[in-house]
Amino acid sequence: MKKIYFSDLEQYFNQEIELQGFVDKIRDLQYVQFVVLRDSSSKVQVTIEKNDENKAMNDVISTLTKESTVLVKGLLKESPNVKLRGMEMIPSSFVITSLSEEELPIDILAYTNTSNQELRMDNRFLDLRQEKNYMIFKAQTLAEMAMREYWIKNNFIEIHSPKILGTASESGAEVFKLDYFGKTVYLAQSPQFYKQMAMASGFNNVFEIAPAFRAENSHTAYHATEFTSVDCEISWIQSHHDVMDMEEAVCKNVLKKVKSEMNEDFKRVFKEDINDSDVAFPRIPFAEAKKIIQENYKYIGEKEFDFDRKEEELIGLYAKKKLNSDFVFVIDYPFEARPFYHMLDETTGKTKSFDLLYKGIEITTGAQREHRIEILKKQAVQKGLSLESIDFYLNFFRYGVPPHGGYGFGLTRFLMRLFNIDNIREVTFLYRGPNRVNP
RNA sequence: GGUCCGGUGGUGUAGUGGUUAACAUGCCAGUCUGUCACACUGGAGAUCGCGGGUUCAAUUCCCGUCCGGACCGCCA
């Protein structure tokens, strides 16, 4: 028999059906027992009168514990008196399929739920039984689907690049070293070089949704040592604006999809609507953004060539208040703050690059890439790289390569902001950080 | 990696140099004619993170250590 999701129960009134779920609550009164069942979609009450006919079931329920799983067969009745959805199940059979221990290591009741994060992470399988957590991963699924939908429609190829690397790629962030049959290899911190390789392969447009690894000992609410990176790269572009046009369309498709599928639940649980506004994402040059922050918020960041956390928040705030957008592109960063492969604009001397901020946090870095090998080599040398170490990468540019660009998008950071959750651990299925590699 | 803060029943907190360490929630038992965050009564449950020091006496003060968190730096 097919699993009936509790959210669909309205279709089954006055029918004999079979329900499977977790035990959410047990109320064992003198003459009647109520058991509230829960699945990922909803809850429903099972009602059993205490009498001779029901003796066997009454005994089962008196041994039942919360969070056990059960299989219940019976008649689903419309019962306006029941506050929980105006329905109840009158069972003819009630079987415990898995008995939970009496006390849980964490508190997963929606109205208290105060257990600290560390304990919840230790017992993540229980923590995730909460509806608000299930919703995060439902949103993640829908977001990925909406992205794929857009990309497939627009002639993208999905790639799966290797995560084990013979040479440490893309300097900057630290990489994990790993023993590989006696040799040292590295975990990929980005699919950057390989998605560019796909451009050299004539794939036109590619995307990849995959883990990335960073050996940064970062103790913040928005870093992890392993996270899901969404990467894409497109060919035959004129500038980084073509890349931004594409990302903007993808983001709008994602929010539209997530909103249409789950706004109702989102509003019930988080008391607000998902914002899928159609406003164009503002594109503010880096130098101008610095000025805006100074003039509007009297704040001067410490870094000349980049933003600090506070500046990110302030430019996000400005975009929201003055331009009515949750998103803002900051574009044309100075070369000092960017990797060697970002293309420079010949007239301005700035990189043809951008960051996308969503509600004041950086979720994307993107750019048009430098595809002209001589300039690429020159820029690598300027950044202090040895050409031998990136020789395999430079090869991609020796035999014709389309002008191209792309971006990397932090899926977990996006989810943090979507749900207004201030910690990346909460939106990661199983978080990995400097101090956590279990469960 | 730097700075700051924290660790007390299953969970979340309060509190104290000295008698039985308090409260909420959860758990167990009983009572209760249909509950719906059921209610009521009772009960079990804490070597106060670990090690050392000061003291007649340390959960409390001091030092060390482990674990965790926040902010900063790095980035997605």
Residue nearest the C1' of B26 (CA based): A103
N-terminal to C-terminal alpha carbon distance within chain A: 33
Nucleotide with the nearest C1' to A356 CA: B76
Co-location of A247 and A369 in the same domain: yes
DSSP letter, residue A281: P
Question: How far in angstroms lies nucleotide B39's C1' from the CA of residue A3?
Answer: 36
Co-location of A171 and A320 in the same domain: yes
Vertex A265: Cα angle to A264 and A270 (nearest 5)? 105
Co-location of A398 and A265 in the same domain: yes
Co-location of A168 and A29 in the same domain: no
In a domain, residue A435? The reply is: no
Per-residue pLDDT, A88:
96
Q: What contacts A228, CB < 8 A, 6 or more positions away? A: A209, A210, A211, A212, A410, A411, A412
Contact positions of strand B to protein Cβ (< 7 A): 1-3, 10-13, 25-28, 31-38, 67-76
Nucleotide with the nearest C1' to A365 CA: B76
Question: How far in angstroms lies nucleotide B76's C1' from the CA of residue A339?
Answer: 15
Tokens at A45, concatenated: 């009450």
In a domain, residue A387? The reply is: yes
Tokens at A438, concatenated: 């279990």
In a domain, residue A118? The reply is: no
Tokens at A245, concatenated: 């046009």
How many Å apart are CA A30 and CA A51, to the nearest integer?
11
Per-residue pLDDT, A172:
59
Question: How far in angstroms lies nucleotide B19's C1' from the CA of residue A105?
Answer: 33
In a domain, residue A361? The reply is: yes
**If we measure between CA atoms, which residue out of A85, A90, A108, A106 comes closest to residue A22?**
A108
How many Å apart are CA A210 and CA A350, to the nearest integer?
30
Domain boundary among A73, A98, A123: A98
- Supply the CATH number for residue A11's domain: 2.40.50.140
Co-location of A256 and A147 in the same domain: yes
Co-location of A10 and A159 in the same domain: no
ipTM beyond cut 0.90: no
Q: What is the pLDDT of residues A219-245, one digit of tens each?
A: 888 889 899 999 999 999 999 999 999
Residue ranges of chain A with per-residue pLDDT less than 50: 171
Q: What is the pLDDT of residues A123-171, one digit of tens each?
A: 999 999 999 999 999 999 999 999 999 999 999 999 999 999 887 766 4
Longest CA–CA span in chain A (Å) reads 90
How many Å apart are CA A153 and CA A338, to the nearest integer?
31
> What is the span of the domain harbouring residue A254?
131-427
Nucleotide with the nearest C1' to A230 CA: B76
Domain count for chain A, please give it. 2
Co-location of A251 and A139 in the same domain: yes
How many Å apart are CA A310 and CA A352, to the nearest integer?
24
Per-residue pLDDT, A383:
87
In a domain, residue A106? The reply is: no
Co-location of A94 and A137 in the same domain: no
- φ/ψ of residue A381, rounded to 5: -65, -40
Co-location of A18 and A159 in the same domain: no
Co-location of A153 and A28 in the same domain: no
In a domain, residue A209? The reply is: yes
Contact (Cβ atoms closer than 8 angstroms) between residue A134 and residue A156: no
How many Å apart are CA A119 and CA A92, to the nearest integer?
39
In a domain, residue A109? The reply is: no
Co-location of A237 and A375 in the same domain: yes
Per-residue pLDDT, A299:
86
Tokens at A222, concatenated: 């928005």
Co-location of A90 and A228 in the same domain: no
Question: How far in angstroms lies nucleotide B58's C1' from the CA of residue A432?
Answer: 39
- Supply the CATH number for residue A327's domain: 3.30.930.10
Question: How far in angstroms lies nucleotide B1's C1' from the CA of residue A254?
Answer: 37
* DSSP element (H, E) containing A34: strand A32-38
The interaxial angle of helices A286-297 and A309-323, nearest 10 deg, is 80
In a domain, residue A186? The reply is: yes
